[in-house]
Amino acid sequence: MPDSQHTAYEALTVDTLRSRLGTLPAMTDRVGTDPSAWTVEEVGDGNLNLVFIVKGPAGAVVVKQALPYVRLVGESWPLPLTRAYFEYHALTRQAARDPGRVPDVHHFDADQALIVMRYLSPHVILRKSLKAGIRHPGLPGHLGLFLARTLFRGSDLHMDTARRKADLALFAGNVELCDITENLVFSDPYFAAELNRHTSPQLDDAVAALRADRDLKVAAQQLKMAFTAKAETLLHGDLHTGSIMVTPDDSQVIDPEFATYGPFGFDIGMLLANYLMAYFAQAGHEATPAERDGYRTWLLDVTADTWDVFAAEFGRLWRTERTGILHQASLYEDQGDRLAAEQALHHQLDAIWADTWGFCGVEMHRRILGLAHIEEFESIDDPDIRAACERKALVLGRHLAVNRRQIPSIAAVRELAERIEREDLR
Ligand code: SR1
Ligand code: MG
Protein backbone atom coordinates (compact mmCIF):
# COMPACT_ATOMS: atom_id res chain seq x y z
CA MET A 1 0.00 0.00 0.00
CA PRO A 2 1.46 3.45 -0.89
CA ASP A 3 2.39 5.65 2.05
CA SER A 4 -0.35 8.14 1.25
CA GLN A 5 -2.91 5.46 2.10
CA HIS A 6 -1.44 4.75 5.51
CA THR A 7 -3.44 6.14 8.38
CA ALA A 8 -1.81 6.97 11.66
CA TYR A 9 -2.75 4.64 14.49
CA GLU A 10 -5.44 5.83 16.83
CA ALA A 11 -7.13 3.78 19.49
CA LEU A 12 -10.84 3.27 18.87
CA THR A 13 -13.45 4.25 21.43
CA VAL A 14 -17.12 3.29 21.68
CA ASP A 15 -17.86 6.81 20.41
CA THR A 16 -15.48 6.87 17.43
CA LEU A 17 -15.86 3.30 16.18
CA ARG A 18 -18.99 3.99 14.11
CA SER A 19 -17.49 6.94 12.23
CA ARG A 20 -14.12 5.28 11.76
CA LEU A 21 -15.34 1.87 10.58
CA GLY A 22 -18.77 2.85 9.30
CA THR A 23 -17.96 2.38 5.62
CA LEU A 24 -15.76 -0.71 5.92
CA PRO A 25 -17.38 -3.52 3.91
CA ALA A 26 -16.29 -6.09 6.49
CA MET A 27 -18.47 -4.17 8.95
CA THR A 28 -21.37 -3.00 6.81
CA ASP A 29 -21.82 -6.43 5.18
CA ARG A 30 -22.14 -8.11 8.55
CA VAL A 31 -23.54 -5.46 10.90
CA GLY A 32 -25.60 -3.23 8.59
CA THR A 33 -25.04 -0.27 6.30
CA ASP A 34 -26.27 2.37 8.74
CA PRO A 35 -23.67 2.82 11.51
CA SER A 36 -26.08 4.93 13.55
CA ALA A 37 -28.07 1.72 14.07
CA TRP A 38 -25.04 -0.10 15.50
CA THR A 39 -24.51 -0.67 19.19
CA VAL A 40 -20.90 -0.73 20.37
CA GLU A 41 -19.66 -2.21 23.62
CA GLU A 42 -16.06 -2.49 24.82
CA VAL A 43 -15.71 -5.85 26.57
CA GLY A 44 -11.96 -6.43 26.74
CA ASP A 45 -11.08 -8.00 30.05
CA GLY A 46 -7.72 -9.44 29.02
CA ASN A 47 -4.34 -8.04 29.89
CA LEU A 48 -3.48 -6.30 26.64
CA ASN A 49 -6.10 -5.14 24.14
CA LEU A 50 -9.34 -3.36 23.33
CA VAL A 51 -12.20 -5.67 22.30
CA PHE A 52 -15.45 -4.26 20.94
CA ILE A 53 -18.67 -6.13 20.19
CA VAL A 54 -20.52 -4.33 17.43
CA LYS A 55 -24.14 -5.31 16.79
CA GLY A 56 -26.62 -4.08 14.20
CA PRO A 57 -29.64 -5.07 12.16
CA ALA A 58 -27.60 -7.43 9.95
CA GLY A 59 -25.60 -9.19 12.66
CA ALA A 60 -22.56 -8.72 14.84
CA VAL A 61 -18.75 -8.77 14.74
CA VAL A 62 -15.88 -8.42 17.14
CA VAL A 63 -13.32 -5.67 16.59
CA LYS A 64 -10.07 -6.31 18.41
CA GLN A 65 -7.45 -3.56 18.52
CA ALA A 66 -4.02 -3.64 20.10
CA LEU A 67 -3.08 -0.80 22.43
CA PRO A 68 0.48 0.57 22.32
CA TYR A 69 1.00 -0.54 25.92
CA VAL A 70 0.11 -3.36 28.32
CA ARG A 71 -3.45 -2.66 29.39
CA LEU A 72 -3.01 -4.49 32.69
CA VAL A 73 -0.12 -2.24 33.73
CA GLY A 74 -0.66 1.01 31.83
CA GLU A 75 1.32 3.29 29.54
CA SER A 76 4.47 2.80 31.58
CA TRP A 77 4.87 -0.57 29.80
CA PRO A 78 4.90 0.11 26.03
CA LEU A 79 4.14 -2.84 23.76
CA PRO A 80 4.35 -2.87 19.94
CA LEU A 81 1.21 -2.76 17.88
CA THR A 82 2.74 -5.38 15.59
CA ARG A 83 1.30 -8.08 17.84
CA ALA A 84 -1.94 -7.71 15.85
CA TYR A 85 0.04 -8.64 12.72
CA PHE A 86 1.34 -11.82 14.39
CA GLU A 87 -2.13 -12.64 15.68
CA TYR A 88 -3.59 -12.23 12.20
CA HIS A 89 -0.97 -14.48 10.63
CA ALA A 90 -1.33 -17.07 13.38
CA LEU A 91 -5.11 -17.13 12.94
CA THR A 92 -4.75 -17.78 9.21
CA ARG A 93 -2.30 -20.66 9.86
CA GLN A 94 -4.49 -22.19 12.56
CA ALA A 95 -7.63 -21.89 10.41
CA ALA A 96 -5.89 -23.83 7.63
CA ARG A 97 -4.42 -26.46 9.97
CA ASP A 98 -7.53 -27.14 12.07
CA PRO A 99 -10.50 -25.67 10.19
CA GLY A 100 -13.38 -24.36 12.27
CA ARG A 101 -11.52 -24.10 15.56
CA VAL A 102 -10.57 -20.38 15.41
CA PRO A 103 -12.79 -17.38 14.62
CA ASP A 104 -13.04 -16.29 10.96
CA VAL A 105 -11.09 -13.12 10.21
CA HIS A 106 -13.15 -10.63 8.19
CA HIS A 107 -10.62 -7.79 7.97
CA PHE A 108 -7.11 -6.90 9.11
CA ASP A 109 -5.66 -3.38 9.27
CA ALA A 110 -1.98 -3.40 10.17
CA ASP A 111 -1.75 0.39 10.66
CA GLN A 112 -4.60 0.40 13.14
CA ALA A 113 -3.48 -2.95 14.67
CA LEU A 114 -7.06 -4.03 14.24
CA ILE A 115 -8.79 -7.31 13.38
CA VAL A 116 -12.48 -7.62 12.57
CA MET A 117 -13.55 -11.17 13.30
CA ARG A 118 -16.49 -13.45 13.94
CA TYR A 119 -18.59 -12.62 16.98
CA LEU A 120 -18.69 -15.85 18.95
CA SER A 121 -22.14 -16.30 20.46
CA PRO A 122 -23.40 -17.84 22.70
CA HIS A 123 -19.80 -18.74 23.57
CA VAL A 124 -18.33 -17.87 26.97
CA ILE A 125 -14.72 -17.79 28.14
CA LEU A 126 -13.80 -21.31 29.29
CA ARG A 127 -12.14 -20.02 32.47
CA LYS A 128 -15.49 -18.65 33.66
CA SER A 129 -17.13 -22.05 33.07
CA LEU A 130 -14.40 -23.85 34.99
CA LYS A 131 -14.93 -21.47 37.89
CA ALA A 132 -18.70 -21.98 37.78
CA GLY A 133 -18.41 -25.78 37.66
CA ILE A 134 -19.87 -26.19 34.15
CA ARG A 135 -18.86 -29.21 32.05
CA HIS A 136 -18.09 -29.13 28.34
CA PRO A 137 -18.07 -32.70 27.08
CA GLY A 138 -16.47 -31.89 23.73
CA LEU A 139 -13.57 -29.95 25.21
CA PRO A 140 -10.74 -32.53 25.29
CA GLY A 141 -11.63 -33.73 21.80
CA HIS A 142 -11.64 -30.23 20.35
CA LEU A 143 -8.48 -29.09 22.12
CA GLY A 144 -6.55 -32.35 21.73
CA LEU A 145 -7.16 -32.26 17.98
CA PHE A 146 -6.37 -28.55 17.78
CA LEU A 147 -3.06 -29.09 19.53
CA ALA A 148 -2.04 -32.06 17.40
CA ARG A 149 -3.08 -30.51 14.10
CA THR A 150 -1.65 -27.03 14.61
CA LEU A 151 1.57 -28.29 16.18
CA PHE A 152 2.22 -31.14 13.73
CA ARG A 153 1.22 -29.19 10.62
CA GLY A 154 3.28 -26.14 11.65
CA SER A 155 6.48 -28.14 11.94
CA ASP A 156 9.27 -29.57 9.79
CA LEU A 157 7.49 -32.90 10.13
CA HIS A 158 4.87 -31.68 7.70
CA MET A 159 5.63 -28.33 6.08
CA ASP A 160 7.43 -27.57 2.89
CA THR A 161 10.84 -26.44 4.15
CA ALA A 162 10.88 -23.07 2.35
CA ARG A 163 7.46 -22.12 3.73
CA ARG A 164 8.42 -23.30 7.19
CA LYS A 165 11.61 -21.23 7.15
CA ALA A 166 9.67 -18.19 5.91
CA ASP A 167 7.25 -18.59 8.80
CA LEU A 168 10.08 -19.10 11.24
CA ALA A 169 11.49 -15.76 10.09
CA LEU A 170 8.10 -14.03 10.14
CA PHE A 171 7.22 -15.07 13.67
CA ALA A 172 10.75 -14.44 14.93
CA GLY A 173 9.74 -10.77 14.80
CA ASN A 174 7.35 -11.23 17.72
CA VAL A 175 10.19 -10.29 20.04
CA GLU A 176 8.44 -8.27 22.74
CA LEU A 177 5.67 -10.80 23.28
CA CYS A 178 8.25 -13.59 23.59
CA ASP A 179 10.13 -11.37 26.02
CA ILE A 180 7.02 -11.21 28.21
CA THR A 181 6.77 -15.01 28.28
CA GLU A 182 10.49 -15.45 28.84
CA ASN A 183 10.42 -13.19 31.88
CA LEU A 184 6.96 -13.73 33.32
CA VAL A 185 6.82 -17.52 32.96
CA PHE A 186 10.37 -18.70 33.41
CA SER A 187 12.21 -16.19 35.61
CA ASP A 188 10.08 -13.69 37.53
CA PRO A 189 8.32 -16.25 39.77
CA TYR A 190 11.69 -17.35 41.14
CA PHE A 191 13.06 -14.01 42.34
CA ALA A 192 11.65 -10.77 43.74
CA ALA A 193 10.69 -9.29 40.35
CA GLU A 194 9.13 -5.83 40.60
CA LEU A 195 5.61 -6.69 39.40
CA ASN A 196 5.26 -9.99 41.24
CA ARG A 197 2.50 -10.43 43.77
CA HIS A 198 1.13 -13.31 45.79
CA THR A 199 -1.35 -14.00 48.55
CA SER A 200 0.55 -12.62 51.50
CA PRO A 201 1.39 -13.36 54.24
CA GLN A 202 -0.20 -16.80 53.78
CA LEU A 203 2.16 -17.87 50.97
CA ASP A 204 5.29 -16.02 52.09
CA ASP A 205 6.93 -19.23 53.27
CA ALA A 206 6.16 -21.08 50.04
CA VAL A 207 7.48 -18.18 47.94
CA ALA A 208 10.73 -18.08 49.92
CA ALA A 209 11.11 -21.85 49.58
CA LEU A 210 10.60 -21.78 45.81
CA ARG A 211 13.11 -18.95 45.38
CA ALA A 212 15.64 -20.97 47.34
CA ASP A 213 14.91 -24.17 45.43
CA ARG A 214 18.04 -24.86 43.38
CA ASP A 215 16.58 -27.79 41.43
CA LEU A 216 13.49 -25.82 40.52
CA LYS A 217 15.36 -22.71 39.38
CA VAL A 218 17.67 -24.79 37.21
CA ALA A 219 14.66 -26.65 35.77
CA ALA A 220 12.90 -23.36 35.00
CA GLN A 221 15.97 -22.05 33.14
CA GLN A 222 16.29 -25.32 31.21
CA LEU A 223 12.66 -24.92 30.20
CA LYS A 224 13.30 -21.29 29.25
CA MET A 225 16.10 -22.48 26.99
CA ALA A 226 13.75 -25.03 25.44
CA PHE A 227 11.27 -22.20 24.81
CA THR A 228 13.84 -19.91 23.22
CA ALA A 229 15.93 -22.48 21.33
CA LYS A 230 13.64 -25.33 20.26
CA ALA A 231 11.90 -23.77 17.26
CA GLU A 232 9.96 -26.97 16.59
CA THR A 233 6.61 -25.61 15.51
CA LEU A 234 4.32 -22.59 15.40
CA LEU A 235 2.81 -22.15 18.85
CA HIS A 236 -0.36 -20.38 19.86
CA GLY A 237 1.91 -19.04 22.59
CA ASP A 238 -0.70 -18.21 25.25
CA LEU A 239 -3.06 -21.18 25.33
CA HIS A 240 -4.68 -20.75 28.73
CA THR A 241 -8.37 -21.17 29.46
CA GLY A 242 -8.98 -17.44 28.93
CA SER A 243 -7.95 -17.99 25.29
CA ILE A 244 -10.74 -20.51 24.68
CA MET A 245 -14.44 -19.78 24.20
CA VAL A 246 -17.01 -22.52 24.57
CA THR A 247 -20.65 -23.52 24.18
CA PRO A 248 -22.07 -26.90 25.21
CA ASP A 249 -20.79 -28.36 21.95
CA ASP A 250 -18.23 -26.01 20.43
CA SER A 251 -14.80 -24.71 21.42
CA GLN A 252 -13.05 -21.78 19.73
CA VAL A 253 -9.43 -20.85 20.28
CA ILE A 254 -8.77 -17.09 20.32
CA ASP A 255 -5.95 -14.60 20.94
CA PRO A 256 -2.79 -16.09 19.39
CA GLU A 257 -0.87 -12.80 19.58
CA PHE A 258 1.98 -14.53 21.42
CA ALA A 259 2.51 -16.83 18.41
CA THR A 260 6.11 -17.87 17.87
CA TYR A 261 8.12 -20.92 16.86
CA GLY A 262 8.85 -22.98 19.95
CA PRO A 263 8.69 -26.46 21.46
CA PHE A 264 5.74 -28.80 20.83
CA GLY A 265 5.06 -29.17 24.54
CA PHE A 266 4.59 -25.47 25.30
CA ASP A 267 0.94 -25.00 24.30
CA ILE A 268 0.01 -28.41 25.72
CA GLY A 269 1.68 -27.74 29.06
CA MET A 270 0.09 -24.28 29.40
CA LEU A 271 -3.38 -25.70 28.75
CA LEU A 272 -3.01 -28.65 31.13
CA ALA A 273 -1.67 -26.30 33.83
CA ASN A 274 -4.79 -24.20 33.55
CA TYR A 275 -7.04 -27.30 33.88
CA LEU A 276 -5.08 -28.37 36.95
CA MET A 277 -5.25 -24.92 38.54
CA ALA A 278 -9.02 -24.95 38.01
CA TYR A 279 -9.00 -28.32 39.80
CA PHE A 280 -7.20 -26.91 42.85
CA ALA A 281 -9.42 -23.79 42.87
CA GLN A 282 -12.69 -25.71 43.31
CA ALA A 283 -12.52 -25.57 47.12
CA GLY A 284 -12.87 -21.80 46.83
CA HIS A 285 -16.05 -22.06 44.79
CA GLU A 286 -18.09 -24.92 46.28
CA ALA A 287 -20.87 -24.13 48.73
CA THR A 288 -20.10 -27.14 50.93
CA PRO A 289 -16.95 -29.29 51.11
CA ALA A 290 -16.90 -32.11 48.52
CA GLU A 291 -19.86 -30.61 46.64
CA ARG A 292 -17.68 -30.29 43.55
CA ASP A 293 -15.94 -33.68 43.79
CA GLY A 294 -17.60 -34.88 40.60
CA TYR A 295 -16.42 -31.74 38.86
CA ARG A 296 -12.90 -32.26 40.17
CA THR A 297 -12.93 -35.72 38.60
CA TRP A 298 -14.17 -34.24 35.34
CA LEU A 299 -11.30 -31.72 35.30
CA LEU A 300 -8.78 -34.53 35.73
CA ASP A 301 -10.58 -36.49 33.00
CA VAL A 302 -10.26 -33.47 30.71
CA THR A 303 -6.56 -33.17 31.51
CA ALA A 304 -5.95 -36.84 30.72
CA ASP A 305 -8.23 -36.98 27.68
CA THR A 306 -6.70 -33.85 26.14
CA TRP A 307 -3.27 -35.49 26.22
CA ASP A 308 -4.66 -38.80 24.93
CA VAL A 309 -6.49 -37.16 22.02
CA PHE A 310 -3.42 -35.08 21.23
CA ALA A 311 -1.12 -38.14 21.22
CA ALA A 312 -3.50 -40.27 19.12
CA GLU A 313 -3.99 -37.53 16.52
CA PHE A 314 -0.29 -36.68 16.47
CA GLY A 315 0.38 -40.37 15.77
CA ARG A 316 -2.23 -40.44 13.01
CA LEU A 317 -0.68 -37.39 11.37
CA TRP A 318 2.78 -38.91 11.78
CA ARG A 319 1.63 -41.95 9.80
CA THR A 320 -0.32 -40.07 7.13
CA GLU A 321 1.09 -36.52 6.75
CA ARG A 322 4.82 -36.80 7.44
CA THR A 323 5.73 -34.89 4.30
CA GLY A 324 8.40 -32.53 5.66
CA ILE A 325 12.16 -32.81 5.90
CA LEU A 326 12.21 -34.78 9.17
CA HIS A 327 11.95 -38.57 9.46
CA GLN A 328 11.31 -38.95 5.75
CA ALA A 329 9.43 -42.00 4.57
CA SER A 330 12.43 -42.70 2.31
CA LEU A 331 14.34 -43.69 5.43
CA TYR A 332 11.63 -45.80 6.99
CA GLU A 333 8.42 -46.94 5.27
CA ASP A 334 9.85 -46.82 1.73
CA GLN A 335 12.43 -49.37 2.84
CA GLY A 336 9.68 -51.53 4.30
CA ASP A 337 10.64 -50.55 7.85
CA ARG A 338 7.41 -49.29 9.41
CA LEU A 339 8.76 -50.10 12.84
CA ALA A 340 11.44 -47.42 12.45
CA ALA A 341 8.72 -44.82 11.90
CA GLU A 342 6.89 -46.06 15.01
CA GLN A 343 10.11 -45.98 17.03
CA ALA A 344 10.78 -42.39 15.96
CA LEU A 345 7.19 -41.44 16.82
CA HIS A 346 7.51 -42.88 20.31
CA HIS A 347 10.75 -40.99 20.89
CA GLN A 348 9.11 -37.78 19.67
CA LEU A 349 6.08 -38.24 21.93
CA ASP A 350 8.35 -39.00 24.88
CA ALA A 351 10.20 -35.73 24.32
CA ILE A 352 6.95 -33.78 24.01
CA TRP A 353 5.63 -35.49 27.16
CA ALA A 354 8.59 -34.35 29.28
CA ASP A 355 8.49 -30.78 27.97
CA THR A 356 4.72 -30.65 28.49
CA TRP A 357 4.95 -31.36 32.21
CA GLY A 358 7.83 -28.93 32.63
CA PHE A 359 5.92 -26.08 30.99
CA CYS A 360 2.82 -27.11 32.93
CA GLY A 361 4.71 -26.77 36.21
CA VAL A 362 6.14 -23.30 35.61
CA GLU A 363 2.82 -21.99 34.25
CA MET A 364 1.19 -22.99 37.56
CA HIS A 365 3.83 -21.07 39.46
CA ARG A 366 3.72 -17.87 37.47
CA ARG A 367 -0.08 -17.59 37.75
CA ILE A 368 0.26 -17.59 41.55
CA LEU A 369 3.54 -15.74 42.10
CA GLY A 370 3.96 -13.46 39.10
CA LEU A 371 2.17 -10.50 37.52
CA ALA A 372 -0.66 -12.24 35.65
CA HIS A 373 -2.96 -14.24 37.90
CA ILE A 374 -6.08 -16.26 37.07
CA GLU A 375 -9.70 -15.61 37.92
CA GLU A 376 -10.34 -19.01 39.54
CA PHE A 377 -7.91 -18.14 42.34
CA GLU A 378 -8.29 -14.33 42.35
CA SER A 379 -12.04 -14.50 42.89
CA ILE A 380 -11.70 -16.50 46.13
CA ASP A 381 -12.33 -13.71 48.63
CA ASP A 382 -11.06 -15.45 51.76
CA PRO A 383 -7.25 -15.21 51.53
CA ASP A 384 -6.78 -18.27 53.74
CA ILE A 385 -8.89 -20.43 51.43
CA ARG A 386 -7.28 -18.89 48.34
CA ALA A 387 -3.79 -19.50 49.67
CA ALA A 388 -4.61 -23.11 50.56
CA CYS A 389 -5.74 -23.73 46.96
CA GLU A 390 -2.75 -21.92 45.49
CA ARG A 391 -0.30 -23.76 47.75
CA LYS A 392 -1.47 -27.10 46.36
CA ALA A 393 -0.94 -25.92 42.80
CA LEU A 394 2.55 -24.71 43.72
CA VAL A 395 3.41 -28.14 45.13
CA LEU A 396 2.24 -29.98 42.01
CA GLY A 397 3.91 -27.42 39.75
CA ARG A 398 7.24 -27.88 41.50
CA HIS A 399 7.05 -31.66 41.21
CA LEU A 400 6.15 -31.56 37.52
CA ALA A 401 8.83 -29.01 36.54
CA VAL A 402 11.66 -30.73 38.39
CA ASN A 403 10.67 -34.33 37.60
CA ARG A 404 9.33 -33.76 34.09
CA ARG A 405 11.52 -36.50 32.60
CA GLN A 406 10.34 -39.06 35.14
CA ILE A 407 6.56 -38.65 34.99
CA PRO A 408 5.45 -42.22 34.20
CA SER A 409 1.85 -41.77 33.07
CA ILE A 410 -1.15 -39.52 33.08
CA ALA A 411 -2.59 -41.76 35.81
CA ALA A 412 0.41 -40.83 37.95
CA VAL A 413 -0.27 -37.12 37.45
CA ARG A 414 -3.91 -37.66 38.39
CA GLU A 415 -2.99 -39.57 41.50
CA LEU A 416 -0.49 -36.93 42.53
CA ALA A 417 -3.05 -34.14 42.05
CA GLU A 418 -5.63 -36.07 44.07
CA ARG A 419 -3.21 -36.77 46.91
CA ILE A 420 -2.11 -33.13 47.04
CA GLU A 421 -5.76 -32.07 47.04
CA ARG A 422 -6.46 -34.43 49.97
CA GLU A 423 -3.39 -32.96 51.69
CA ASP A 424 -1.79 -36.37 51.67
CA LEU A 425 1.30 -34.82 50.14
CA ARG A 426 2.93 -31.45 50.68
C1 SR1 B 1 1.92 -8.43 30.50
S2 SR1 B 1 0.92 -9.62 29.77
C3 SR1 B 1 0.64 -10.81 30.99
C4 SR1 B 1 0.09 -12.09 30.49
O5 SR1 B 1 -1.12 -11.85 29.81
C6 SR1 B 1 -1.17 -12.60 28.62
O7 SR1 B 1 -2.40 -13.21 28.46
C8 SR1 B 1 -0.03 -13.59 28.72
O9 SR1 B 1 -0.43 -14.77 29.40
C10 SR1 B 1 0.96 -12.81 29.48
O11 SR1 B 1 1.95 -13.61 30.07
MG1 MG C 1 -4.68 -13.10 25.48
124-422 adopts what CATH topology?
Aminoglycoside 3'-phosphotransferase; Chain: A, domain 2 (3.90.1200)
Of the listed ligands, the closest to the CA of 66 is: 2
User: ∠ CA 278-283-289 to the nearest 5 degrees?
Assistant: 140
The minimum-distance atom of ligand 1 relative to the CA of 47 is 5
How far, in Å, from the CA of 82 to the mean position of ligand 2? 15
Confidence (pTM)? 0.97
How far, in Å, from the CA of 110 to the mean position of ligand 2? 18
Q: Whose CA is nearest to atom 3 of ligand 1?
A: 372
> Would you mind telling me the total number of residues written for the chain in this entry?
426
Q: What are the Cα distances from residue 64, in Å, to 11, 79, 121?
A: 11, 16, 16
Of the listed ligands, the closest to the CA of 83 is: 2
Sheet of strand 124-125, all strands in order from the earlier edge strand to the far edge = 124-125, 244-246, 251-253
Identify the pLDDT of residue 5: 64
17-118 adopts what CATH topology?
Phosphorylase Kinase; domain 1 (3.30.200)
Q: Which of 69, 235, 238 to mutate to test the pocket of ligand 1 (most atoms within 8 A of CB)?
A: 238
**Topology alike, domains 17-118 and 124-422:** no
Q: What are the Cα distances from residue 244, in Å, to 143, 144, 236, 238, 309?
A: 9, 13, 11, 10, 17
Domain boundaries, the chain: 17-118, 124-422
pLDDT in tens, the chain (426 residues): 444 467 899 999 999 999 999 999 999 999 999 999 999 999 998 889 999 999 999 999 999 999 999 999 999 999 999 999 999 999 999 999 999 999 999 999 999 999 999 999 999 999 999 999 999 999 999 999 999 999 999 999 999 999 999 999 999 999 999 999 999 999 999 999 999 999 999 999 999 999 999 999 999 999 999 999 999 999 999 999 999 999 999 999 999 999 999 999 999 999 999 999 999 999 999 999 999 999 999 999 999 999 999 999 999 999 999 999 999 999 999 999 999 999 999 999 999 999 999 999 999 999 999 999 999 999 999 999 999 999 999 999 999 999 999 999 999 999 999 999 999 766
Tell me the backbone φ, ψ of residue 273, rounded to 5 degrees: -60, -40
The pocket around ligand 1, CB under 6 angstroms, is made up of 47-48, 70, 72, 180-181, 184, 238, 371-372
Nearest one of 398, 368, 361, 365 to 383, comparing CA atoms: 368
Contact 140, 302 (CB under 8 A): yes
Nearest one of 299, 363, 268 to 132, comparing CA atoms: 299
Q: Whose CA is nearest to atom 7 of ligand 1?
A: 47
Which one-letter amino acid corresponds to residue 391? R
Of the listed ligands, the closest to the CA of 64 is: 2
Q: Whose CA is nearest to atom 8 of ligand 1?
A: 238
Identify the pLDDT of residue 46: 83
